[in-house]
Structure 1
């Protein structure tokens, strides 16, 4: 039996529709997170896309991946209008919601695209944030998720030539954000442990030896908790400000530490003894193994996903 919009009715079709959607879920969550910088919002957007997928006339959906990419992109662009207005009045640095390995499923495909798709580092995500919404969408859809420009044009309601220009401009702006330097899991954990131990003991000389001369620190508290309200650039200033923050707002002696990878970087999650998340710290190493970026998220709204871990 068919409905008037051309969709077959019945449980078998519902199961087929669900299975078809699930094959694209990893792709959709990855796209939405990179657009919005929030895993929670990405999941909401994908759920909204699922509702639209259920209502779609199947005869009009020739390429499900392209249809769903268009749907998620439009939903994200709508959300970004209000998000950008909110960030204009956001207190202090804004950082994406921290992710653990596996939070965004891996993406299959040719090596260059997979390398980009796996890059969830703060440096890369912040570089995406500096693009216009349309530039970000065109770049992600073409360079990361490999849609052709005709499909992207349908999603962005622009011409293919215009979308090609948007992606090219985005690529140029992003060039400075790459490459990032990967370290092994063991190297990363040693770096984080050394940083945390030196921080808690007030060992300024060890901290100095761990930091690159051009190191930067970004701390996101969202006015919800005390933190450093401006970006800190340069090793000497960073040490002065960071040690001052530790003296005033350092973690309690019984704070629990959980070492993990955060947005693909070596990091640590700090909790109270009761399990309440306090903050995440992710460290970005440079080519010489020194820390060139410290990313601290203390905004409780961005730590909710750790409440039940």
Structure 2
């Protein structure tokens, strides 16, 4: 990309490598008001359309947040090549993106991060390939994970500082994280919580009701519906350990449907019946409340229809 030859001025360059119109930020402003001022006569609706179409970049990173705070020295780019910034993948959907993080919904069967055996068929690799289309040095950084067979919402950081902020302050930043599952049998209680110490044994995670050196773990649950020998359950994590929900449901005597590893002998859905449907957090840079929610998977609802 060509260097900006007018760092002090507020006028846009007509073209940058024939791909962008570039505006230099000289004073603090929110992205919406900045664009409306620079693009004289443009409507709020048009600016929102540009943001939702993912053609607005701030410092080479796609920005979809209309009130994103700009500071002097930043560079706002309007892409002329919309196809370059489109993201389409059958296993992954981008729910939100800005200069600091990406929130996605992944399908079951996709690894969250690369492993020694699987480096390319992962959400991390797919997103790395995507952000490198914006700039060859871009990459995503892992913040948390979902099991391969668990679907739902998760996020990645776009720089190490944001990654460390999220990881080091996870319990202060993330204020609501919920899953939905279908378990075998009729849950005895409408609501409750499971507490135990979990230990990763590599092939499986063991649970102990007393401190055996494992990690203390807490899962809150609420039974939504009982039907056809199954229960639809909503879960809220107080801690986020490996396989925590799956192990805790087994502890209650109601393993997750499709979870052979933790005691389920039936798989009517052909998948693990676990979906991360809600993620709420304070933006690690702006402090804004960010709330993302997806519907319960349609097959979950179908299985719970009374016969």
- TM norm structure 1: 0.28
Give the number of the structure whose residues are more often helix, by fraction: 1
Greater RCO, 1 or 2 (C-alpha within 8 Å, sep 6+): 1
Q: Per residue, is there more strand in 1 or in 2? A: 2
